[in-house]
Amino acid sequence: MFNKTESSKGSFLEQTKAAREERAQEKKREKAATCIQAHIRGWCARNKFTKQILAEFDEIIPNDEHPELKPCLQIYQVSCRFLFVWKKERDHERFEKLCRYLVASLESDSAKLSYVGVALNKEYSLAWISHMKEVLWKCCCYLDDLRPEIPSDMKVILLYLHTLVAFTATNTWILLKAKHMEKLKHGMNQLCANVMGHLFNKGFYVILKMLLIRGLGRAKISLKHVSLSAIVTLAIRPLVSASFSEKLMTMFVIHILSVPALILHLQNMAPECVSSFVQHDVFAKALELLFVEQNTRIVFNVLEGNYSLCLLANLIQLAYIQRDDKLKVLYFPTFTIVVRKLLERCQNYVVTKQSNLTHWHPVLGWFAQSMDYNLHEAMPHVKTQLHLLWSVQFVSVLLGQTLAELVENADIVPETPSPPASTSSNILRRALDHRNTRSSAPKHHRKIGSPECTKVAHICTLYQTALGTLTQLKLDILTGLCYQDKILFNLWLFICSLGGNCGLKAFLDHLAANTKEITYEFHMLILFCDCMTHYVTILDDMEMYEQQSPFRLQDYVAMSNFLNNFLYRGVLSNLFDIKTLNTNIVFQMAHTLLMVLYRRDCRRSYTPDNHWLIKDLRVNTFISDLDKGKKSSQILLQKMPHIIPHDERVQLFRKYVANERMVLGLTESACASPQSTLITVHRSRIVEDGYRQLALLPSQALKGVIRVRFINEQGLDEAGIDQDGVFKEFLEETIKRVFDPSLNLFRVTSEERLYPSPTSYMQDNHLQLFEFVGRMLGKAVYEGIVVDVPFASFFLSQLLGQQHQALYSSMDELPSLDRELYRSLTFIKHHQGNISELDLTFTVDEDCLGKLVTHELIPGGKAVPVTNENRINYIHLMAHFRMHTQIKDQTAAFIRGFRSIINPDWLSLFSTPELQRLISGDNVPLDLRDLRKHTQYYGGFHDSHRVVCWLWDILDKDFNDEERRLFLKFVTSCSKPPLLGFAHLEPPFSIRCVEVGDDEDTGDTIGSVIRGFFTIRKKDPQNRLPTSSTCFNLLKLPNYQKKSTLREKLKYAVSSNTGFELS
């Protein structure tokens, strides 16, 4: 019973709760409905109100190009109501209509019709100013969304620009032209300035900047004369209104002058705007602003590196436009320092290599900031502006006139150094030279740190910074500086005016005082070295050796002497930090120029004997320091090996070889053990058998002892004189055969110099053969065996690795391959007429076994004609193709083989001609005294023997130089003596007495020795000829009875080349 009651109670409570919640929900629904109805009624009322306002606006504001004007107060009230309900997307056409009407109203001279008339009403004047600020800012907002490249948008842009121009200045207000209105002009101008100030604070310059970038930052420019003129007018007005205040000038520089190629486009399309810039002295004011360090930081903090570059380009063009007046006044220090700061700002983002954080920039190279599309398309125009910095007129104002004035009346003559004297007999001559030098030298030298030196140094720093920043324009900058009216030559004369030996002591003292930083004065030297390196690299032989203008050969001599001594003393005195030497720009630039001059001299000499040696260098002390591991001496040997005599370097080379032999266990004591390699070679297959057995031999084994067993034509072993075999003969025979042009591995130039054949591919395994030949030649050099193999100079340069250096010039080396082609390309380079008339293209034809094959020098070269503009590129590509592209695989294989035996670091000791001497011996007359001193005798001969004395007398008095060379080739297979003299000939030269034919000669028997020693005749040898065994450097000489017989037989033998027999 009680359970039923409790159940009914619970049900009742739940029903009561549900009813209460239902009533609450009902109240919420009623309230919500009321709220919604209120909102709907409000929306409907507002919508109705808006429609009424818009209908009123549409009715009152006409939509004509030349509307009928209505009372300005009525228009003002309708416009205010319209702006009250204005929506950007919906009302853009109505706003255009309003702007069109407002501009048209200004043409009225009635205060009741002209929209400016509202401002004359005291009741509405303040409200009208606020109203106009709102209207003009809405114009700016619309401008921000419009695209100039779209024709329909362009019309609207012109309308809004017209509106802004019309209402920010009073010059188009016809109303104010009446005489009774003149008193109001000042007040109205203040009103316009107030409006401009409002727009500026809202971001007016940002709007103009974006509009300019969208219109000008394109391959096809979309802004025209009218729009450009309007934008520039609007940009200048705030400056004028604020009397070019620092704040506004800063914003103008940041937003307007940083627009890509703005000045260039203005000059092309709206020159009156450029005149406005000139009239308002914008260039000078911008420089004045940026000259202050604090302002510079503000500008740089806002601008990205890309837009800093655009600002720089615009300033350069403004300077170029005013080069005849303002620039001449401001170029130093203001312009110079401001431009350098801008370049350094851009340089902060330039990196040396690609990474995930870098982007490619067409002017700056790898760049640590991205570049938007518009800026990328504008870069060709920016490049055009930047090129003005090194144009003739610009460089003349900045550097040319300054240098010309400084050197014009100085009567500077670069001192030509006297070569190092080797004997005391030259003491008087040296004293006279010293006296003459002292008397002819200028009495007063300029000092580093003097005002004129500081001025030149700052300007040079500007251009040096440009070279380091505008990496993709470096060649253009260098060319601009090198060929501008003797500027480089005058800079050289100015450097020479800083003291004796071209300012050597001044620069060394300055370096000693500033070891940890690069001062402006050093940038002067750096720029000169950089430009001069470029100048010498592209100078051909006719320009350098024959024309000699403006630089004479003695200038190059003085220049190289200065650089040689500057670097030597700088390194030796630890004025350069050894640890950072490879990044020290002073050392790197000076060293690069020095090596360019040195290699030019090696190719065709212009310096006196011993010019490259350092007078103060004591070779024994230097070598001792090397042995002790002294760092400065090691650096000098690595960077400037030419400062020590060639013979000492050859001894160092032999020392390196001996040390390596010892490390590898290849010394004589080690070789006494049976670890040598024995090969068997058939006489008729010397190259084939040698290649088969040695090509795959490890380099270390090839550096060791190679014993050769020859098999004769009958298939029998040949007996060698010494037990170690006849490796020298094998090497000579192998080299003689593989370098024979008939084998088509190598060809000869017109000067009988060897280089790889471009058609060697017709040989099977030709690249493996080239590698084998390289190993064999390397083995000959390693063993100190000289071989008569004359290589073309360009091929030796590649063997030294010089072609991989940035400043290597294929054109310079071309004469060593094809002198006729060099003459033809030089003709093209200097041709005064139109090169296009020669009908050349970027192709080269090659005759391959009677078939003409055309190679393109560049992709699509068949369709690219050679013109005056691209001819320099053509001649270098042609030279590069002939000397590198055609034979790159063959050359690479040969070098790979050669360097597997000879360490490339050892080769760096030698220049190109010196490497040829290392391979083929010294190109000097035969020194008979040295040869006789180091001759060994066998078979009874001795130095005082009658026949031996006759021999030396005949060689000395009866043989000329050519016949002596033939004699040397007859007995050693090489016509040139060893580099270090006959003491280093391996094996030593020897003379054996033979009484009978070689087939009967049994060697040094007791009887033959006694008979030879006492000149006892066994058989008359008058019909016998002298013979030789070149593999052992052995002359086999019959015991002649008459001196005349010896003379006759010897001449016949050496001229007929009857030697090269095996005992």
Active site residues: 1031
Residues 481 and 542 sit within 8 Å (Cβ to Cβ): no
What is the dihedral sign for C-alpha 918, 921, 924, 928? Answer: positive
How many other CB atoms are there within 10 angstroms of residue 84's CB atom? Answer: 10
DSSP code for 717? B
Burial group, residue 138, by CB count within 10 angstroms (0-12, 13-18, 19+): buried
CA pair distance 738, 746, nearest whole angstrom? 8
Q: Report residue 400: phi and psi, to 5°.
A: -60, -55
Nearest to 488 by CA among 444, 450, 546, 538: 538
CA pair distance 830, 401, nearest whole angstrom? 28
Residue with tokens 């991205």: 370
What is the dihedral sign for C-alpha 475, 481, 485, 488? Answer: negative
- CA 832-837-840 angle, to 5 degrees, is 105
Q: Beta-strand (E) ranges in 948-1033?
A: 990-994, 1027-1029
Characterize the bridge pairing of strands 1034-1038 and 990-994: parallel
Nearest to 502 by CA among 532, 478, 525, 523: 525
DSSP code for 826? H
Token reading at 530 = 């950089």
SS3 assignment, position 1019: coil
CA pair distance 101, 64, nearest whole angstrom? 8
What is the dihedral sign for C-alpha 506, 510, 511, 512? Answer: positive
Q: b vs e for 281-294, b when ≥16 Cβ sit within 10 Å of the residue's Cβ?
A: ebbbbbbbbbbeee
Token reading at 11 = 């049900």
Looking at the DSSP assignment, which residues form a beta bridge with residue 682?
711
SS (H, E, C) 766-788: HHHHHHHHHHHHHHHHHHCCCCC
Query: Residue 838 carries which side chain, given as an amino acid letter?
Result: L
Ramachandran region, residue 542 (left: φ > 0; alpha: ψ -120 to 50; beta: rest): alpha
> CA 492: distance to chain centroid?
22
Residues 1061 and 1029 sit within 8 Å (Cβ to Cβ): yes
CA pair distance 861, 844, nearest whole angstrom? 9
Residues 338 and 288 sit within 8 Å (Cβ to Cβ): no
CA pair distance 223, 158, nearest whole angstrom? 10
The answer for residues whose C-beta is within 8 angstroms of residue 574's C-beta and 6 or more apart is 632
SS3 assignment, position 757: coil
Looking at the DSSP assignment, which residues form a beta bridge with residue 845?
854
Token reading at 623 = 């070598």
DSSP code for 707? E
Token reading at 339 = 């431009």
- Count of residues for the chain? 1063
DSSP codes, 359-411: EEETTTEEESS---HHHHHHHHHHHHHHHGGGSHHHHIIIIIHHHHHHHHTT-
Residues 315 and 390 sit within 8 Å (Cβ to Cβ): no
Q: Give the long-range contacts of residues 405-409, CB within 8 A, separation 24 or more.
A: 406/452, 406/456, 406/490, 406/494, 406/497, 407/490, 407/493, 407/494, 407/497
